[in-house]
């Protein structure tokens, strides 16, 4: 009984704190942002959707360009509905056999972010879905193959937001991400391949208090 009373008291205190605190994002504000992700234990992450990078060794070269921009609007104080975009271009070439493999992927979908203000920081709940397309191409000597996929992504995250200044916010989130790909061949789809696991996301959000409504 004491534990229940303590839990109720803690919830009431947190609620009062949130109500008294200034909103993290005011109703009508526009948000834009960019995110980088790191996969943990099998989730898709830094090799697929992150800040682009280039690396190479004696045998092969790998060129990757990945972007995860988003844009949204606060439909009420501390509640943002946004469009999440993703684009990825990957190319790997080998000097040993003159082979080349490339992948292009894009996706878009709705995401929702809720902020719970706690003094100088805010707790975050974030999640959404994306649908997209992927094309893989493999070239070896005189042979060339191409595969096409439909993609579906579902994510749920919790984290912390910290305002760096009045209009720029740093976000750190951890949660679950599930991506599935269905092979498309002649209009028919085969069984889906699934990649899922824990993911950490770090990103920046720019807040524009324009007061749309």
Give pTM, 2 decimals: 0.75
Looking at per-residue pLDDT, the higher value among 183 and 156 belongs to: 156
* 185 part of a folded domain: yes
Paired tokens of 196: 């899922």
User: Per-residue pLDDT tens for 81-134?
Assistant: 999 988 877 777 776 667 777 878 889 999 999 999 988 899 999 999 999 998
pLDDT over 60 at 56, yes or no: no
Q: What is the pLDDT of residues 158-212, one digit of tens each?
A: 999 998 888 899 998 888 888 888 888 654 555 567 777 788 888 889 999 887 7
pLDDT of 52 over the 50 cut: no
User: Is 213 among the domain residues?
Assistant: no
* pLDDT higher than threshold 80 for residue 15: no
pLDDT of residue 160: 94
Q: Are 109 and 84 in contact (CB under 8 A)?
A: yes
Q: Find the domain containing 27 and state its range.
A: 2-208
Q: Give the pLDDT score at 198.
A: 80
pLDDT range class, residue 38, cuts 50, 70, 90 = low
Does 75 reside within a domain? yes
CATH, residue 198: 2.40.160.20
* Nearest CA-CA partner of 107 in 128, 137, 79: 128
Q: How many domains does the chain have?
A: 1
| Within a domain: 49 | yes
In a domain, 156, yes or no: yes
């Amino acid at each position: 009984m004491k534990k229940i009373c303590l839990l109720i008291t803690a919830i009431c205190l947190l609620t009062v704190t949130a109500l008294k605190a200034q909103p993290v994002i005011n109703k009508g504000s526009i948000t834009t942002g960019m995110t980088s992700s790191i996969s943990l234990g099998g989730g898709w992450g830094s090799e697929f959707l992150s800040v682009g990078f280039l690396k190479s060794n004696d045998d092969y070269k790998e060129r990757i360009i990945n972007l995860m921009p988003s844009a949204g609007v606060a439909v009420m104080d501390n509640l943002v509905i946004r469009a999440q975009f993703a684009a990825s271009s990957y190319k790997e070439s080998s000097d040993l056999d003159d082979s080349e493999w490339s992948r292009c992927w894009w996706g878009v979908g709705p995401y929702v972010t809720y902020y719970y203000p706690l003094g100088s920081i805010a707790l975050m709940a974030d999640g959404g879905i994306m649908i997209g397309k992927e094309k893989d191409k493999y070239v070896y000597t005189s042979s060339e193959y191409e595969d096409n996929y439909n993609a579906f992504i579902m994510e749920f995250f919790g984290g912390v937001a910290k305002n760096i200044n009045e209009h720029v916010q740093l976000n750190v989130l951890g949660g679950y991400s599930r991506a599935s790909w269905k092979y498309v061949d002649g209009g028919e789809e085969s069984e889906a391949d699934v990649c899922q696991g824990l993911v950490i996301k770090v990103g920046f959000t720019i807040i524009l208090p324009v007061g749309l409504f």
